[in-house]
Amino acid sequence: MFKVPPIAADRLPGLLAAAPKAELHIHIEGSLEPDMIFALAQRNGVALPYASVHDLRRAYAFTSLQSFLDVYYAGASVLLHEQDFYDLAQAYLARAAMDNVARAEIFFDPQTHTARGVDLHTVVGGLHRACTDARQNLGVSASLILCFLRHLSEEDAFATLEQAMPLLDRIVGVGLDSSELGHPPEKFARVFARCRQLGLHVVAHAGEEGPPAYIWSALDVLKAERIDHGVQAVRDAALMQRLAQERIPLTVCPLSNQKLCVFPGLAAHNLPQLLEAGLAATVNSDDPAYFGGYINDNFTQTFAALPMLTAQHAWQLAFNSFEASFAPEADKRRWQQQLQACFERHADPA
């Protein structure tokens, strides 16, 4: 492990912002900013249940995951054409580049769009073109992760996988998201087994609001390589031990957890506990347009609220993000070297 040199506390926010990092938990539909929702509604002639941006923003007072998802799916209804999906992903990737994101693994929810009659080729076409351009124009490496909606049936997930078959070279893996409680991972055992056979990486949301049992089954039944959120793991000592021993990455999203009332506030977040227990935690934005900040906001606000978090933790979180990514090994090692160089540049003068 790299021993981080002494760095004065007042330099930490600058370092958190400057550090190269990977974002592994970002729903592209959750980066749809209110201004873009209204611009696309107008461009596509879609009627919205909100009179203005101000009216829409007032709906962003969430009390739970479900209260958020209702607004999130309404917002996504303005996305119709390939160019809409391109514009959305391009805007996110440009914003991520400003936060020194070197690698982004982007979730998308195909069923949200195909249920409205949008072809999967349209969705993946626009998102993938933005990922390709980002490498060239922004220096950001980006890949797509197709998420199945867990409130729908496994049969529906299989139908989505069938539609995705000609597009599999454009996605790096599959995930599981949407309403967690009442929809345990094992509901999707067969479709995830098929995805693994197809050579896709596998991740799953588990332990956001749901119990530790959902994290166990995401690991044992779905064979998830990363757990998205996973913060409820602290309720189960044996699970914590397993996550630490196997270095299973958790993609933690502090501002999301705060907004969706998973914790009463950032000061009560268990990120320090996860790190102290030796878990491979990472910091991510989840749905930045809805939760009040992009990845660097997540880092800086969380570190400000939790003064026990140090520069060593900051380095560990960014290092973990590259370790946990599905990028080529050579890229991962290069970014980790850049990370170390960044920390050395920020060291206190000898």
Q: How far apart are CA 141 and CA 317, in angstroms?
A: 19
Q: How far apart are CA 62 and CA 82, in angstroms?
A: 30
Site for Zn ion in 281-300 (CB under 5 A): 286
Q: What are the φ and ψ backbone dihedral angles of 31, each rounded to 5 degrees?
A: -105, 10
The distance of closest approach from Cβ of residue 250 to Zn ion in the complex, given in angstroms and rounded to an integer, is 12
Q: Which of 4, 22, 26, 30 binds ligand ADE (CB under 6 A)?
A: 30
Is 113 in contact with 123 (CB distance < 8 Å)?
Answer: yes
208 binds ligand ADE (CB under 6 A): yes
Q: Which of 105, 177, 195, 301 binds ligand ADE (CB under 6 A)?
A: 177
Q: How many CB atoms lie within 10 A of CB 328?
A: 10
**Would you state the structure tokens that stand for residue 297, as one six-digit string?**
């906001």
Per residue, what are the HEC states of 157-186? HHHHHHHHHHHHHHCCEEEEECCCCCCCHH
How many binding residues for Zn ion (CB under 5 A)? 1
Q: Per-residue string for binding with ligand ADE, 41-80, x by CB under 6 A?
A: ------------------------x------x--------
251 binds ligand ADE (CB under 6 A): no
> What does 320 interact with, of Zn ion, ligand ADE, none (CB < 5 to 8 A by kind)?
none
Given 208, 209, 225, 329, the catalytic residue = 208
The distance of closest approach from Cβ of residue 75 to ligand ADE in the complex, given in angstroms and rounded to an integer, is 11
The distance of closest approach from Cβ of residue 107 to Zn ion in the complex, given in angstroms and rounded to an integer, is 7
88 binds ligand ADE (CB under 6 A): no
> What does 332 interact with, of Zn ion, ligand ADE, none (CB < 5 to 8 A by kind)?
none
Q: Is 208 a catalytic residue?
A: yes
| Alpha-carbon 176 to chain mean position | 12
State which residue, 84 or 286, has the beta carbon closest to Zn ion: 286
State which residue, 23 or 286, has the beta carbon closest to Zn ion: 286
State which residue, 115 or 341, has the beta carbon closest to ligand ADE: 115
Q: How far apart are CA 341 and CA 207, in angstroms?
A: 35
Q: Per-residue string for binding with Zn ion, 133-162, x by CB under 5 A?
A: ------------------------------
Instruction: Give the DSSP letter string of 267-336.
Output: GG--HHHHHHTT-EEEE--BSHHHHT--HHHHHHHHHHH-TT--HHHHHHHHHHHHHTS-S-HHHHHHHH
Q: What is the DSSP letter of 10?
A: G
82: helix, coil or strand? helix
Tell me which residue has tokens 């440009």. 94
The distance of closest approach from Cβ of residue 257 to Zn ion in the complex, given in angstroms and rounded to an integer, is 10
Beta bridge partners of 280: 249
Cβ-proximal residue to ligand ADE, closest one: 177
The distance of closest approach from Cβ of residue 205 to Zn ion in the complex, given in angstroms and rounded to an integer, is 6
87 binds Zn ion (CB under 5 A): no
- Written as one letter, the residue type at 50 is Y
State which residue, 7 or 144, has the beta carbon closest to ligand ADE: 144
Site for ligand ADE in 272-291 (CB under 6 A): 286-287
As a residue count, the chain comes to: 350
Q: Please report, for residues 207, 209, 264, 289, the alpha-carbon distance to residue 63 in angstroms, rounded to integers and kept in the order given.
A: 17, 12, 11, 17
Q: Please report, for residues 29, 174, 315, the alpha-carbon distance to residue 147 in angstroms, rounded to integers and kept in the order given.
A: 12, 5, 29
> What does 289 interact with, of ligand ADE, Zn ion, none (CB < 5 to 8 A by kind)?
none
Catalytic residues: 208
Instruction: Give the footprint of ligand ADE on this chain (CB under 6 A).
Output: 27, 30, 65, 72, 177-178, 205, 208, 256, 286-287
